[in-house]
Amino acid sequence: MIGILGAGAFGTALAVALGRSGRAVRLWARDADQVRAMQATRRNAVALPDVDLPETVSVHAEIAEVVPAEALLLCVPMQALAALLDGHTGIDGSCPLVACCKGVDLTSLRGPVALIRDRRPEAVAAILTGPGFAADIARGLPTALTLAATERGAALQDLLSTQTLRLYRTDDIIGAELGGALKNVVAIAAGVVIGAGLGESARAALLTRGYAEMLRLAMALGARPETLAGLSGLGDLVLTCTSAQSRNFRYGAALGQGTVFDPSVTVEGIATARAVLRLAAGLGIDMPVTAMVDALASGRIALNDAIARLMSRPLKQE
């Protein structure tokens, strides 16, 4: 049995994909009303209203009903991961804990695997990340993701792969974490470019310079460049910078258009930009795209001023 904590879009999509493959899946949601509704309708009316839950998927309101499991997938937002681990002692090291979130914790400046290891040092910790929209995974469309683990990676890869969900394995946890986190920041910037009507050429330039920022920080923290060139880095970057399915891209587009974005939608790149700038400052690394996103998101700078600052930076060799 595979346990999934978090019945948002991604957690539900993974439950559907794994359930369709014949695996027994137990899905936990913190909202008891949501649990009752999903049990009754066999659908997640909020996150994936058009997708039926397979019979192999059960929905639960108590974590004790989900653990122990062959693996426990933690599908909560990055900024909620520490609270989930701190608030539920039933999540222990009896099974592998696989983070399915992207970002950097604002309090500790750590990625999801480091948070798990800090709070559950006895557990096998891993991260599942890469270019996969929940709607595509739930519909059974071909998707490839990265599983980063230093222990039991091959076993987890076999357990979590299906005919439509193909997992590639790496032991570069730092690279996989940072690729998934930093691309959200660049996706916001790409959305700003398109929302402001600056054009596709500007988006291509922004994506390229944003990728250079990702590499600079990730390598300084010990990541391997080939990891950033893979699914969890470049692959995820391309997806989220070019599709309106990305919440980060849509948020950036709203900033570029000067419109209000739905505050109920989680936009991981906002907190990640703030945390990453603190990390980069300690390492003496320049990250102008990230700085622009943070300044725009916090309202410290107007859009025209942000664009002017980026375009007036000193000319240099690529």
Residue 116's domain comprises 2-171
Looking at the structure, do residues 87 and 218 belong to the same domain, yes or no? no
209 in a known ligand binding site: no
Is 255 within 8 Å of 188 (Cβ atoms)? yes
Looking at the structure, do residues 76 and 190 belong to the same domain, yes or no? no
In a domain, 316, yes or no: no
In a domain, 94, yes or no: yes
Asked if pLDDT for residue 45 goes beyond 80, the answer is: yes
In a domain, 209, yes or no: yes
CATH code of 214's domain: 1.10.1040.10
In a domain, 220, yes or no: yes
| pLDDT, position 239 | 98
Please give the Cα distance from 164 to 176 (Å, whole number).
Answer: 21
Looking at the structure, do residues 199 and 154 belong to the same domain, yes or no? no
316 among known catalytic residues: no
Average pLDDT over residues 152-156: 98
Asked if pLDDT for residue 58 goes beyond 90, the answer is: yes
Please give the Cα distance from 10 to 73 (Å, whole number).
Answer: 11
| pLDDT, position 104 | 97
pTM of the complete model: 0.96
316 in a known ligand binding site: no
The mean pLDDT value of the chain amounts to: 96
Please give the Cα distance from 38 to 147 (Å, whole number).
Answer: 28
111-148 pLDDT per residue, tens: 999 999 999 999 999 999 999 999 999 999 999 999 99
Is 17 within 8 Å of 162 (Cβ atoms)? yes
Please count the structural domains in the chain.
2
196-208 pLDDT per residue, tens: 999 999 999 999 9
Looking at the structure, do residues 71 and 44 belong to the same domain, yes or no? yes
Asked if pLDDT for residue 308 goes beyond 90, the answer is: no
| pLDDT, position 218 | 97
Looking at the structure, do residues 26 and 149 belong to the same domain, yes or no? yes
Q: Which of 20, 26, 110, 183 is catalytic?
A: 183
Last residue of a domain, one of 108, 142, 171: 171
247 in a known ligand binding site: yes
